[in-house]
Structure 1
Amino acid sequence: MSEDEKFAWISGPIAIPIPGHAPLPDEALGSAAYYPAIERLGIPAIQQSDASLGVTNPGGIRSGAEATALPSSLLLGATFDVDTARATGALVGRQARAQGFAVQLAGGANLVREATGGRNFEYVSEDPLLTGKITGASVAGIQEQGVVSTVKHFTANGQETGRVLADSRIAEAAHRESDLLAFQIAIEDGQPGSVMPGYNLINGYWASENAHLINDILKGEWGYRGWVMSDWGATHSSEKAALAGLDVQSGADFDPEVYFAGPLREAVLEGRVPQSRIDDMVRRQLRELFRVGVLDNPPVPGGVLDIAGDNAFAQAAAERGLVLLKNDGDLLPAATGLSRVLVVGRHADTGVLAGGGSSAVTPAGTTSEPSGIDRTWADRVIHPSSPLEAIRAEAHATHVDFIDGTDTTRTLEAAARADLVVVFAEEWRAEGYDMQGVSLPDGQGDLIEAIAAVNPRTVVVIESGGAVSTPWARSVPAVIAAFYPGIGGAQAIAGVIFGRVNPSGHLPVTFPKSIDQLPRPEQLDPAATTSNPNQDIVGDIVEIDYDIEGSDVGYRWFAREGHYPDFPFGWGLSYTTFAFSGLTVTAHGPDLRVSGYLSNTGDRAGATVAQIYVARVNSDTADYVHRLAGFARVDLEPGETQPVDVVFEPRILASWNDTEGGFHLSGGNYEIRVGTHSLDEDGPTQRIELTAAPVPAAPSRH
């Protein structure tokens, strides 16, 4: 390759026409990025698309382009099912390849540290094991289709407000045991071709030029051989970033200058950056494109898509993730053939809510409305999956009426006459925009309580981008957490309400009672900071203290501090009952295996998740709270029993030792507990004594 050809592949603008920016090449499809073909060497052009929830089409730039809108990553996390994650990844990979994309910017592996985080819907959970396993499976599914996947945003990118000025401060050991461990597991399992740092700083260094994270850990200790691309407009230097391990300046037109063009060439000519570093940047890309199959079999636009079939699968994935939070008096499943059902909710007649930003998929029939946020692609998107029509199809009621809930008097009058009321509560989030507080906005909680007061047969469905507080749930017999359920969301929700679907999802995040239970209840003022690239900087860099909770993220923080949430991590009800028996724990050094039997003791088919938690007890060092060390999802017919065999992730039991540079298991007694959620103390337990030992580094499979 010539030097010009090399440099054409290490920086590039966003591949969407923007007024005042350079025009795009005719070959660019219209997407996140385009890197030109090198025809004399047989290297095709590389086109990149967002994101984890499906193939996006920002602004409808690709006329007629279709894609399936998957359930949010949180709903995927709620399945606790690596097989479903792999299959949804394969769906995204197939659709990306059919549209000509070689790289899908998919694989959100950030831990949900901030319950208010604006992009939480793009991430999997607050737990490093669940996040790593689900993300890794999704990445593997994408790449099995011959499309490179990108794990992001590396790392500790916990919030959106002020994200381009946020400095995530966290000690090495806490980082290794939490956020970094989630990424490590995802990379080991999924072997992504690319990794993307975030906009934030980590311990005083921009993520895109943090040599400790990129060179020392990712490429060094972990042996990662793929390429590291910046987020769009998240590059801050040429020489420093290149030497720190950044391989590609993405969205260079969002940065103050194209650092990886003239300035980097000058650094090479002056000997400040070796030529071998430029070669390494390009070699890493080519190697992964060859490995995944892109260069031998380039994606070509115009492939055949099975949108109907893929949409049906998206619905099935949502059905496996919906979480039944409450079901007093067995109100659900609701009887069919009722006289009058009332559906309440602002958009419940037209569709289900989707998160905003670069990950928003817009299938045919999608509607949108202004959000009031000064951010590109920040419209509030509503997927064309009508809860009203889905409930009509499932309920077989004489009358299924709709009211948007904006007129309280009319709403209560209609609710009092109904045999069943289904309220769709909305909480919208977006890239670059954190939720303010953890309560449902716009007085929806008050409306729910008022409806429940006039009709005790009220069901609430929460469409949210993350955890919300639910003080109103005391007044409501049945509550379902749907997060953002995607193109088949309404049908999945209606299926749960009327019993076609037996709910089997479990919360991937803790639902707090109030914002005061969180590690950082005070939030940044969005007007006093800058949250997005390519905007004028307001205010200074803001340090975010993640050492408050350290590695005890989410449910571990709640347990450590003695906070009791509205609904704990792992919580989820079913229309049948299950029992775990025959708990056996065996150990070989730091490797633990748990086995037993799961039985469906009820009268209908269903699925449950054996959640296996571990804590160190009576040790010489400080005990730690129970944390998820293994899980297994099992589908069972009525009366059926299946064996369960779970191998623990040993790093979950261990602690990071800064001095020796590795995970080490402390000797002592460990309690293994099988539960239905993180606070479940009624399941079988067993104690085992383990000997202190280093945990061997996981072998690099990349």
Structure 2
Amino acid sequence: MTGTSSSASASDKAGTKYQDFDVADTLSKLTVQEKISLVSGTDFWHLAGVPRLGIPAIRTTDGPNGARGTAFFNGTPAACLPCGTALGATWDVDLIHKGGELMGHEAIAKGASVLLGPTINMQRSPLGGRGFESFSEDPVLAGTISAASVNGIQSTGVSATIKHLVCNDLEDKRMSSNSIVSERALREVYLLPFQIAQRDARPWAYMSSYNLLNGLHCSENPKLIQQILRDEWGFDGLVMSDWFGTYSTTEAIKAGLDLEMPGPPSLRGKQISKALSCGKLLQHHLDARVTQVLKLIKKVLPLQIPEGVEEKTIDSPQTASLLRSIAAQSLVLLKNDDTVLPFKKEKTTAVIGPNAAFATYSGGGSASLLPYYAVTPLEGIKAKSTDAQYEIGAPGWKLLPLLSRAAKTSKGQSGLDMKIFLDPPSKQDRTPIDELHIRDTSILLFDYKNPLLKTHLFYSDIDCTITPDETAEYEFSLSVAGTAKLLVDDQVVVDNATKQYPGDSFFGVGTREEIGSIKLEAGKSYSVHVDFGSLPTLTYTKEGVTAFGAGGVRIGFHRKLDRKVEIERAVAIAKKSDQVVLCVGLNSDWESEGYDRPHMDLPPGNDELVEAVLAANPNTAVVVQSGTPVTMPWASKAKAIVQAWYGGNETGNGIAEVVFGDVNPGGKTSLSFPRRNEDNPAFLNYTSDDNRVFYGEDVYIGYRFYEKTKRDVLFPFGHGLSYTNFDIKSLNVKASEDSDDVTVSVQVTNTGKTAGAEVVQVYVSPQSPSINRPLKELKGFGKVFLQAGESKAVEVKLSKKYATSFYHEGRDAWVSETGKYTVLVGNSSADTPLKGEFAVGKTLVWKGL
């Protein structure tokens, strides 16, 4: 069995109606042991309850782009929204609010009242493993989009959990790395998105980050949690640790960390009892933390979600429509020379590339989930152009594609059969303790549970049948947090048990991928068998990572490719087609929690593929799927480039709708696209050298750095083309001395022949700064949809103190200096032709919101 509660127990409680309660009164009735139980989780996803007082054990769920439910392993399908950078690229707060509402309803369907998202860390570098999860390199865009998401989530009665506080901006040694950041950069860049979200959305919960901040772990950092978050910003909610990110008992409690996750507790429970008995903790320290837990439970109580309720799906045409809209609106038309796009549906179309036939819908790690469905670009394009021809062109994977795409169970279903045993394969006449049908061969067993298991040690037989459609040499692969061998018709093809080598799979715990090959015949069925041993059987230990649960195994499979031959095949169909959609990029193996990207390039051979196809047919649209920028050495030769991100369930349909013109692209880059990794501001200070990460670029992150140093980029922040044209004019700036409001208004006209959306971006620049400051900074924006020939006034309201202030380290406060400020308005950071100004008559020194 899987999950955390039996359906029987859930049904017993389904009729329970939880009564509202007074927090102070309830606190007074709790025993000390009940209080201690409330400040840590009971398992991977649940908080403790107090049955005698009617306090339910509430459920949490990942994550930033959907609600996975309580199982990494064989979980309940869910709606998957586009990744964070894609959501940021919409620049559309109303659309993001709707996406937040959807995530809230999805969480409720999974029996969860606390959603662990959104993520609003900053992309210092293109290489961050979780860069795709966050919204933008710009703190105002990130904070504004996150506030819209939080408001949407919490409008459903579900708590958002804004994360990770703070400077968890790389994965390398993330639990031991010390982020060394100036106070000014901390406030102006890394904390500002959280501050804006707190001001505009009041999230009910925060999650601390794994790393140290200036020498002290964030989960036990009183300056961060108590002084800034609670005292300055007025936050009166719950702060939880990231999973296994609590590193002390008394220090964390005194600093303000309310909840240790996951459970059972490793640094609370008995340790709190001892700390209380010896006086290291006083009762009021514990009461303060319990109070916040009770407040969160009280806030979500109106949902009336029964404890242990069975998870369900709520897939619907309305959900699909919203997901498709978000996917399409997130796409950014980076380049469109000679108006190559949109393509014509009646013309012959070639679809080429490693990302075309695979549903690259999400990055990896906490953002991953089992989607209701996932539309590939090839499927989306074929729905528009039914005669489209396909060639892979080159491999694009870091790890072999999953075997599950080709696997059939003993009953002929898609997927594999999995049997769990207490004893190893060497024991005769083993009896399985569990038999499962699994749909995915990236098998995460961190949260697998079975009442017959006393430890995390067990063994498994994983079986399926495959029937190749082409006679060829085929490759199989295993990466494992445990041990595994793969056999085809009883012949060992891959051995990842006898000798193992550390890799970065399974959040950094698992091995490298081991690959073996065998020739298979078309139309013949073969049995595939995997002997798996759980995490305790792993033959090595690895420093700097947390190994938990039962580990996992990933099984890959694909026809062995000859890069030269595949490119030749791709070129052949490109030459005979009127137009080409070339899909390249990364996937959840390249961009994932647990490790950072080793470089900024596309996978090996992909640049050669793009060059060859562009030479064969100039009417090619290059569609790039990645959560963060990749190098594009061929960009000058490509007429059309579309940044498609990771688009969720509707990835393929979103791409097809933009490519064929059913949707006019309205996205703008949420990140600057440097030409190469060496150009980015964090290049010299990105890895965790000796557990030390020096934020040497200070406040000059993203476009702030490129503009200040006059360094050319491939595509600037805020850039995005359309199938129509817009005219932005008639700038008017209104501000008064006795008000914090600054109103910026312009007239926007769609001068083309196609309906579309434009983003009015408002930047502010101090005319006579007393310190070194960026040339300009985004301070507000507005998105408008216009029919062909239509004009509308767009008004963007700014807070004067937020628009003008810098953080003064000597005063330990924000300072809005007296003087004049230039307002620059346009449709990208590199195109701000309209200029106005306003003045600050008296210097303002301030803290708080």
Residue 437 to residue 401, structure 1, CA distance change in 2 (3 Å): closer
Residue identity opposite 1:346 in structure 2: P
Residue 294 to residue 168, structure 1, CA distance change in 2 (3 Å): farther
Matched, 1:400 2:389: yes
Q: Distance in 1 between matches of 2:785 and 2:355?
A: 33
Match of 2:40 in 1: 11
Match of 2:145 in 1: 134
Match of 2:537 in 1: none
Deviation of 1:515 after TM superposition, in Å, equals: 1.1
Match of 2:533 in 1: none
Match of 1:327 in 2: 336
Match of 2:194 in 1: 183
Deviation of 1:553 after TM superposition, in Å, equals: 1.5
Aligned residues: 643
* CA deviation string 1:185-206 (max 9, x = no partner): 1122221111111111110111
Q: Distance in 2 between matches of 1:138 and 1:393?
A: 31
Q: Distance in 1 between matches of 2:690 and 2:772?
A: 34
Match of 2:64 in 1: 52
Alignment of 1:89-238 (within 5 A): 89-238=100-249
Residue identity opposite 1:654 in structure 2: S
Match of 2:578 in 1: 419
Residue 259 to residue 295, structure 1, CA distance change in 2 (3 Å): farther
Matched, 1:673 2:824: yes
**Match of residue 37, structure 1, among 49, 64, 68:** 49
Match of 1:251 in 2: 262
Deviation of 1:351 after TM superposition, in Å, equals: 1.9
Alignment of 1:113-512 (within 5 A): 113-252=124-263, 258-294=266-302, 300-301=309-310, 305-338=314-347, 340-365=348-373, 384-395=374-385, 398-405=387-394, 406=563, 407-427=566-586, 428-512=590-674
Q: Distance in 2 between matches of 1:403 and 1:657?
A: 54
Deviation of 1:288 after TM superposition, in Å, equals: 2.6
Deviation of 1:292 after TM superposition, in Å, equals: 4.2
Residue 273 to residue 641, structure 1, CA distance change in 2 (3 Å): same
Q: Distance in 1 between matches of 2:637 and 2:393?
A: 21
Q: Distance in 2 between matches of 1:212 and 1:698?
A: 14
Residue identity opposite 1:5 in structure 2: E
* CA deviation string 1:652-699 (max 9, x = no partner): 421112343432111222111111111114x21113333242165565
Q: Distance in 1 between matches of 2:267 and 2:369?
A: 31
Residue 303 to residue 362, structure 1, CA distance change in 2 (3 Å): closer
Match of 2:724 in 1: 576
Q: Distance in 2 between matches of 1:251 and 1:59?
A: 14
Match of 1:660 in 2: 811
Residue identity opposite 2:792 in structure 1: Q
Query: Is the CA contact (8 Å cut-off) linking 1:102 and 1:294 kept in structure 2?
Result: no
Residue identity opposite 2:806 in structure 1: S
What SS does the aligned partner of 2:609 have?
helix
Residue 245 to residue 302, structure 1, CA distance change in 2 (3 Å): closer
* CA deviation string 1:155-179 (max 9, x = no partner): 0111112212221111112211111
* CA deviation string 1:105-135 (max 9, x = no partner): 0111112122211111110000111111111
Matched, 1:597 2:760: no
Deviation of 1:139 after TM superposition, in Å, equals: 1.1
Residue 14 to residue 291, structure 1, CA distance change in 2 (3 Å): closer
Match of 1:646 in 2: 796
Deviation of 1:401 after TM superposition, in Å, equals: 3.1
Matched residues, percent identical? 35
Matched, 1:633 2:622: no
Deviation of 1:268 after TM superposition, in Å, equals: 1.5
Q: Distance in 2 between matches of 1:237 and 1:424?
A: 47
Q: Distance in 1 between matches of 2:812 and 2:337?
A: 50
Residue 85 to residue 399, structure 1, CA distance change in 2 (3 Å): closer
Residue identity opposite 1:420 in structure 2: Q
Query: Is the CA contact (8 Å cut-off) linking 2:60 and 2:114 kept in structure 1?
Result: yes
Q: Distance in 1 between matches of 2:193 and 2:138?
A: 8
Q: Distance in 2 between matches of 1:524 and 1:218?
A: 27
Residue identity opposite 2:704 in structure 1: R
Query: Is the CA contact (8 Å cut-off) linking 2:86 and 2:627 kept in structure 1?
Result: no
Match of 2:442 in 1: none
Residue identity opposite 2:809 in structure 1: D
Residue identity opposite 1:329 in structure 2: D
Matched, 1:78 2:89: yes
What SS does the aligned partner of 2:80 have?
coil
Greater alpha carbon shift after TM alignment, 685-694 vs 240-249: 685-694
Residue 199 to residue 522, structure 1, CA distance change in 2 (3 Å): same
Residue 440 to residue 275, structure 1, CA distance change in 2 (3 Å): same
* Unpaired segments ≥5 residues, structure 1: 16-32, 366-383, 530-539
What SS does the aligned partner of 2:168 have?
coil
Match of 1:551 in 2: 699
Query: Is the CA contact (8 Å cut-off) linking 2:69 and 2:110 kept in structure 1?
Result: no
Q: Distance in 2 between matches of 1:621 and 1:358?
A: 40
Q: CA RMSD in A?
A: 2.1
Match of 2:539 in 1: none
Q: Distance in 2 between matches of 1:421 and 1:307?
A: 33
Q: Distance in 2 between matches of 1:644 and 1:416?
A: 46
What SS does the aligned partner of 2:830 have?
coil
Matched, 1:561 2:561: no
Structure index of larger Rg: 2
What SS does the aligned partner of 1:34 have?
coil
Q: Distance in 2 between matches of 1:620 and 1:192?
A: 35
Deviation of 1:364 after TM superposition, in Å, equals: 3.8
Query: Is the CA contact (8 Å cut-off) linking 2:356 and 2:584 kept in structure 1?
Result: no
Query: Is the CA contact (8 Å cut-off) linking 1:511 and 1:568 kept in structure 2?
Result: yes
* Unpaired segments ≥5 residues, structure 2: 1-29, 395-562
Residue 637 to residue 603, structure 1, CA distance change in 2 (3 Å): same
Query: Is the CA contact (8 Å cut-off) linking 2:336 and 2:641 kept in structure 1?
Result: yes
Residue identity opposite 2:784 in structure 1: V
What SS does the aligned partner of 1:233 have?
coil
Query: Is the CA contact (8 Å cut-off) linking 2:64 and 2:116 kept in structure 1?
Result: yes
Query: Is the CA contact (8 Å cut-off) linking 1:57 and 1:362 kept in structure 2?
Result: no
Residue identity opposite 2:576 in structure 1: R
* CA deviation string 1:597-620 (max 9, x = no partner): 111111111001000111112445
Query: Is the CA contact (8 Å cut-off) linking 2:117 and 2:162 kept in structure 1?
Result: yes
Query: Is the CA contact (8 Å cut-off) linking 1:162 and 1:524 kept in structure 2?
Result: no
Residue identity opposite 1:656 in structure 2: Y
Q: Distance in 2 between matches of 1:614 and 1:135?
A: 21
Q: Distance in 2 between matches of 1:569 and 1:596?
A: 21
Residue 620 to residue 185, structure 1, CA distance change in 2 (3 Å): closer
Query: Is the CA contact (8 Å cut-off) linking 1:232 and 1:252 kept in structure 2?
Result: no
Q: Distance in 2 between matches of 1:94 and 1:418?
A: 44
Residue 270 to residue 622, structure 1, CA distance change in 2 (3 Å): same
Query: Is the CA contact (8 Å cut-off) linking 2:79 and 2:372 kept in structure 1?
Result: no
Residue 69 to residue 304, structure 1, CA distance change in 2 (3 Å): closer
Query: Is the CA contact (8 Å cut-off) linking 2:624 and 2:644 kept in structure 1?
Result: yes
Q: Distance in 1 between matches of 2:831 and 2:607?
A: 28
Q: Distance in 1 between matches of 2:762 and 2:306?
A: 43
Q: Distance in 1 between matches of 2:148 and 2:758?
A: 20
* CA deviation string 1:304-358 (max 9, x = no partner): 72433212211111111110000000000012211x3111122422423421102
Query: Is the CA contact (8 Å cut-off) linking 2:91 and 2:783 kept in structure 1?
Result: yes
Q: Distance in 1 between matches of 2:772 and 2:331?
A: 37
